[in-house]
Structure 1
Amino acid sequence: MDTQTLSAGNTVEVVEGVHLTQLVAGDRMSIQHFHVEPGATVPEHSHEHEQLGYVYDGTLVFEVAGEEFVIGANESYAIPSEEPHAAVNRGDDPVRGLDVFAPARPDPDWAQ
């Protein structure tokens, strides 16, 4: 069994105010932590991975196919594989949560 604490992970600021930490990766899925500062934006992107997420602090606004989805604390979401999406923290507090990816992303390009 692999284990890792958030504090032991390698946190990377992938764009200004967006911090990602790769946690553990198995054969079929992986999990990462995100921390998005107020006003920070995750630019539109897509990837082969299905992305399931959970916000436990703050509110994150996603844009998917021209539609906005407001995801607050204690809410989850699912983004299909190859679906272009972006996100922004329009609030005054950081947003924190977890993303699960399938297939696994053991070495995401942002972690380099």
Structure 2
Amino acid sequence: MPLVVKDSDISPKRLSNLAVRRTVNGENLMITRYEVKAGAEFTVHRHPEEQMGYVIRGRIEFFVGEPERRYLFEAGTFFHFASDEPHRSRVLEDSLVIDVFAPPRPEYVAEALTAPPVD
């Protein structure tokens, strides 16, 4: 049975006064919708999950890898981070971003709306 929901059906996770995340979890992947305000910063981190994303609106400065490389992600930008690739970001304009993780990030599962198992 497919899972079909509106973002208003998903409980938001407030990360700070500048960032809110909504998450939907499947068996083998997870999708998140981030609403972030200008000035939000995400410290350098890495995770074993592969990550792909898309910037719907706004501008975000990302710093990726070792040594760090700077990228400017604007509306219409797709991106990919390999497993365990260090990255951090600074939000330059109010932004809306979709991230997909495979497999799902365990630390997000408790907050996620979970899709039913595939029959």
SS at match of 2:8: helix
Q: 1:4 to 1:106 in 2, by over 3 A?
A: farther
Q: For 2:89 and 2:16, how far apart are their aligned partners in 1?
A: 12
Count of aligned pairs = 109
Match of 2:31 in 1: 31
Runs of 4 or more off by more than 6 Å in structure 1? none
Return the TM-score normalized by structure 2.
0.82
Q: Quick one: percent identity of the two aligned structures?
A: 27
Q: 1:110 to 1:69 in 2, by over 3 A?
A: farther
Q: For 1:110 and 1:77, how far apart are their aligned partners in 2?
A: 26
- Could you tell me which runs of 5 or more consecutive residues in structure 1 were left unpaired when the two chains were aligned: none
Q: 1:43 to 1:67 in 2, by over 3 A?
A: same
Equivalent positions of 1:24-103 (< 5 A) are 24-65=24-65, 66-91=68-93, 94-103=94-103
2:14 counterpart letter in structure 1: E
Q: Is the 8 A contact 2:58 2:92 kept in 1?
A: no
Return the TM-score normalized by structure 1.
0.87
